[in-house]
């Protein structure tokens, strides 16, 4: 297949193409979490001079949000959020006359550390003790970040009832301020509730430790005794507004257990057990989503919540002549999701993304980031196919 043509404007930035084998070897030697893609001639010969005042416009023009199918994850509508947002994130508008008692003697920083060591359920119980304690907890920056940017995950955790007492205030805030998938190190978009660990959208359906299945089916398939089944941690799915059948009736809550742990307790001989385990993994690989929730990354430096960005330049490369390379890399590159900072590092060394940005500026340098980006993506160079964003 013919290579994608290098625009004249960026001819001095591109390097000579390399073979698919060289690309794959270079990619894996650098590690899957590398910021600098080394695919064919997509890599710039030199680092792009990124101007600070152009950063926001570049992100708008050259990236897109890959939308996850929220109906497969635990999610709540904005109407549901509005019903509880006032009660959990806004203190009473009247002045507090209640004293914190002996807690008044403690420094504010020590009170914050005490609150961080409490589990989520206990934090909300403390808020109900008095107006003064409620206002004190509401003033913590960690609490404000959680109730502002992670309301869906907070609601999901509280509705499980069993998990809320097991996750500390500190653990919740730590995962909110982290953007790394526990398994692969890439940008993690979702949180797996039973273990409260962050995963990317790929690992959440492939990592053995998160794959779950219905208790009844697993107990029957693996010949588990009632005593063995009682040793498994149980997760009951959350009933949501969209959890209805074709007749509008509410679907029953499923009882899920981890397949990996169930396999270890099975009395079936090893050779048969492995085959049954593989069958369970393949049948139930999507069920882990029903125990997960989309969790944005809260960037404490910028004060913004990030949901992850994908590169439009990578999509163009996927559709214009680098299929052999992408086949070798198993599609890991063009479909990657980045945080804002890592996306900008990727942009500095990816000439197709740079060219799209220069097209946007050439159309309208002032309004770059709105109609100009859409106009540039329709140019013949960009694509003759209809891309879905």
pLDDT, one tens digit per residue, over 107-137 is 989 999 999 999 999 999 988 888 888 888 9
Looking at 59-68, 235-244, 287-296, which range is the least confident one? Answer: 235-244
User: Are 115 and 187 members of one domain?
Assistant: yes
User: Are 328 and 357 members of one domain?
Assistant: yes
Question: Does 387 fall in a domain?
Answer: no
Instruction: Provide the pLDDT for residue 6.
Output: 40
Mean of pLDDT over the chain:
76
User: Are 332 and 229 members of one domain?
Assistant: no
How many Cα neighbours within 13 Å face the side chain of 120? 24
Q: What pLDDT band is residue 143 in, cutting at 50, 70 and 90?
A: very high
Query: What count of other Cβ atoms lies within 10 Å of the Cβ of residue 225?
Result: 12
Please give the structure tokens belonging to residue 188: 């993690």
CB 294 within 8 A of CB 68: yes
Task: Pick left, alpha or beta for residue 223 (phi over 0 → left; psi -120 to 50 → alpha; otherwise beta).
Answer: left
User: Are 58 and 100 members of one domain?
Assistant: no
Give the rounded percent of residues in the chain with a pLDDT score beyond 70.
Answer: 69
Question: Does 313 fall in a domain?
Answer: yes
> pTM for this structure?
0.76
Question: Does 389 fall in a domain?
Answer: no
Angle at 351 (CA atoms; ends 346, 355), nearest 5 degrees: 115
Q: Is the C-alpha dihedral spanning 136, 139, 143, 149 positive or negative?
A: positive
The pLDDT tens digits of the residues spanning 306-361 come to 999 888 877 765 555 444 444 433 444 556 888 888 899 989 988 888 888 887 77
Instruction: Provide the pLDDT for residue 245.
Output: 46
User: Are 39 and 141 members of one domain?
Assistant: no
Q: What pLDDT band is residue 249 in, cutting at 50, 70 and 90?
A: low
Residue 259's domain comprises 212-240+252-284
Give the rounded percent of residues in the chain with a pLDDT score beyond 90.
Answer: 32
Q: Is the C-alpha dihedral spanning 198, 201, 205, 207 positive or negative?
A: negative
Please give the structure tokens belonging to residue 264: 């270890």
User: Are 80 and 195 members of one domain?
Assistant: yes
Please give the structure tokens belonging to residue 153: 């995950």
58 Cα distance to chain centroid: 22
User: Are 50 and 164 members of one domain?
Assistant: no
Query: What count of other Cβ atoms lies within 10 Å of the Cβ of residue 185?
Result: 13
Question: Does 2 fall in a domain?
Answer: no
User: Are 341 and 327 members of one domain?
Assistant: yes
Number of domains in the chain: 3
Instruction: Provide the pLDDT for residue 149.
Output: 92
The pLDDT tens digits of the residues spanning 3-58 come to 344 444 444 444 333 333 333 334 334 443 334 344 445 677 788 888 888 888 88
Residue with tokens 């650098």: 30
Rounded to an integer, the average pLDDT of 290-299 is 93
User: Are 198 and 230 members of one domain?
Assistant: no
Residue 256: φ, ψ to 5°: -110, 145
User: Are 260 and 138 members of one domain?
Assistant: no
User: Are 193 and 77 members of one domain?
Assistant: yes
Question: Does 382 fall in a domain?
Answer: no
Q: Which residue has the higher pLDDT, 87 or 375?
A: 87
Buried b (16+ CB within 10 A) or exposed e, 344-375: bbbbbbbbbbbbbbbbbbebeeeebbeebbee
User: Are 109 and 185 members of one domain?
Assistant: yes
Question: Does 318 fall in a domain?
Answer: yes
Instruction: Provide the pLDDT for residue 33.
Output: 37
Question: Does 144 fall in a domain?
Answer: yes
């Amino acid at each position: 297949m013919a290579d994608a043509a290098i625009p004249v404007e960026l001819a001095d930035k591109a390097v000579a193409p390399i073979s698919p084998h060289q690309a794959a070897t270079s990619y894996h030697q650098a590690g899957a979490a590398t910021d600098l893609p080394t695919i064919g001639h997509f890599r710039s010969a030199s680092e792009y001079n990124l101007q600070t005042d152009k950063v926001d416009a570049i992100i708008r023009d050259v990236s897109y949000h890959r939308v996850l199918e929220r109906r497969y994850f635990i999610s709540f509508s904005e109407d549901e959020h509005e019903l509880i947002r006032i009660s959990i994130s806004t203190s009473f508008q009247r002045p507090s006359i209640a004293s914190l008692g002996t807690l008044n003697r403690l420094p504010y920083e020590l009170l914050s550390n005490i609150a961080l060591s409490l589990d989520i359920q206990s934090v909300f119980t403390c808020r109900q003790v008095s107006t003064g304690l409620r206002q004190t907890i509401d003033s913590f920056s960690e609490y404000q970040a959680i109730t502002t940017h992670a309301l869906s995950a907070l609601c999901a955790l509280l509705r499980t009832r069993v998990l809320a007492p097991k996750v500390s205030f500190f653990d919740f805030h730590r995962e909110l301020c982290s953007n790394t998938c526990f398994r692969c190190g890439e940008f993690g978009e979702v949180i797996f509730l039973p273990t409260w660990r962050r995963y990317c959208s790929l690992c959440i359906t492939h990592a053995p430790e998160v794959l779950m299945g219905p208790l009844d089916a697993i107990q029957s398939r693996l010949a588990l005794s009632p005593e063995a089944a009682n040793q498994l941690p149980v997760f009951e799915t959350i009933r949501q507004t969209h959890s209805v059948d074709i007749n509008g009736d509410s679907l029953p809550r499923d009882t899920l257990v981890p397949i990996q742990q169930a396999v270890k307790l099975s009395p079936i001989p090893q050779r048969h057990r492995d085959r049954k385990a593989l069958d369970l993994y393949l049948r139930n690989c999507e069920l882990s989503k029903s125990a997960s929730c989309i969790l944005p990354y809260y960037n404490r430096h910028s004060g913004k919540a990030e949901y992850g960005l994908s590169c439009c330049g990578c999509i163009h490369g996927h559709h214009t002549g680098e299929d052999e390379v992408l086949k070798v890399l198993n599609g890991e590159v063009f479909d990657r999701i980045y945080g804002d900072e890592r996306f900008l590092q990727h942009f500095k060394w990816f000439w197709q993304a740079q060219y799209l940005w220069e097209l946007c500026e050439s159309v309208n340098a002032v309004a770059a980031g709105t109609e100009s980006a859409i106009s540039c993506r329709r140019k013949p160079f960009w694509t003759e196919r209809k891309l879905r964003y």
